[in-house]
Amino acid sequence: MAFSEDLESPPPSLVFSVRRSQPELVAPAKPTPHEVKLLSDIDCQAGLRAQIPIIQFYRQEPSMAGKDPVEVIRHALAQALVFYYPLAGRLREASGGKLMVDCNEDGVMFIEADADVTLDQFGDALKPPFPCFQELLYEAPGSEGVTDSPILLIQVTRLKCGGFIFALRFNHAMIDGVGTIYFMYAVAEIARGEQEPSILPVWRRELLSARDPPRVTCNHREYEQLTDTSGVVPLEFEQRSFFFGPSEIAAIRGLLPHDVDQHATTFEVLTSYVWRCRTKALQIEAKEDVRMMCIADARAKFEPPFPGGYYGNCFAFPAAITSAGELCEKPLEYALKLIQGAIEEVSGEYMHSLADFMVTEGRPLFTVVRSCLVLDTTYAGFRGLDFGWGKALYGGMVKAGAGAFPAVNFHVPSQNAKGEEGILVLVCLPTQVMKVFAKELDDNMLLQNNV
């Protein structure tokens, strides 16, 4: 497949209408503790004060005939909140930027909806950007804030074909992607008849609070504050998703020496490739530093490992750093080894040092100048989320970008129109750069095919 040709012939836009009921608050099904819980110092950093949307598509399931997904999920949600009762509270901010959750049973926001569209109308291969997404996850007034707002927003939309769409937006300061999966699976298990989640939630935010006194023992260059000297401010950004199937990934691996390829994950290989192509497309001056920051879950990096069920933010985004000139001119293995080295930096001590860094440096935002973040969700399990209607046809991120930072790429497991399993890379770039980027993707693979 030629990525640049795909950009030249976008699918016809799909327009449909959605009828929504008034947003409601779903509280825990039983009384839960009223208390105030402190978030960790990893949770409280500026870069996590954002709302992140997720979307799941489901087909009609004959065995569930007569059952309403809205009612099933709403009931299961209330039951799951008994276990995850802090999610029904509201975040508050204290002095110094410290966040806490007021566990008050106010509830999460829930929207019931119907759309005059079928799943088949979305096309043979479901991939972002999704048409009319703002209709599938309505930004209800009063729900947008990081503090003093519902921590979760959920919309379940019935489709004409008998399928439905489950969309969720989570407050990243309160919960990370792994924690969101834990919670969504808890809702799904209860929807299928279980009495409680198979993985019980664990709070323990003090495990990632700063030490007394703080001791910053590692370099955290992902938070270096740089000045953008380009003078270029893009006016428009474009969202695209690029499908990498077995043949595309094999072509990229062919750019690496065999011994290097044998010791590299698909995520590392694909991220290295996209980083080089993105940097070339942006035409960054050769002497300028560029960063690729890989979001690395740290739960297994502690000794002993972190408690199972921990649903707070437990990750870092260590930075692979080089000059734009070196990245673009050197072989792909150069970028790959930089990324592998950055990921290997993450350890239990790195996370404790990061919490201390947040307190001593004022909870800064990660570096956004000449930087890109990437998150691998291929093993997260979004597609496996089953409320009783089977696994999702598409499950995961809605778009690239997070909060006010567009340069976040996501790897999402998916199928193409031929039924091949592969990875969607969700990318957001200035509109005038996107075609150049797609051509860079093509040209480098074409080079390998001609070798």
Q: Rounded CA gap, 58 and 42, in Å?
A: 34
Q: Rounded CA gap, 403 and 400, in Å?
A: 10
The 3-state secondary structure of the chain reads CCHHHHHHCCCCCCCCCEEECCCEEECCCCCCCCEEEECCCCCCCHHHCCEEEEEEEECCCHHHCCCCHHHHHHHHHHHHHHHCHHHHCEEEECHHHCEEEEECCCCEEEEEEEECCCHHHHCCCCCCCCCCHHHHCCCCCCCCCCCCCCCEEEEEEECCCCCEEEEEEEECCCCCHHHHHHHHHHHHHHHCCCCCCCCCCECCHHHHCCCCCCCCCCCCHHHCCCCCCCCCCCCCEEEEEEEECHHHHHHHHCCCCHHHHCCCCHHHHHHHHHHHHHHHHHCCCCCCEEEEEECEECHHHCCCCCCCCECCCCEECCEEEEEHHHHHHCCHHHHHHHHHHHHHCCCHHHHHHHHHHHHHHCCCCCCCCCEEEEEECCCCCHHHCCCCCCCCCEEEECCCCECCECCEEEEEEEECCCCCEEEEEEEEEEHHHHHHHHHHHHHHHHHHHCC
Q: Which of 102, 106, 261, 386 is catalytic?
A: 386
Is 172 annotated as catalytic?
Answer: yes
Is 386 annotated as catalytic?
Answer: yes
Q: Rounded CA gap, 172 and 164, in Å?
A: 25
Nearest-5° Cα angle at 26, 23 to 31: 155
**Rg (the chain; Cα; Å):** 22
Q: Rounded CA gap, 291 and 142, in Å?
A: 36
Token representation of residue 403: 């909060």
Q: Which of 172, 220, 352, 411 is catalytic?
A: 172
Q: What residues are labeled active site?
A: 172, 386
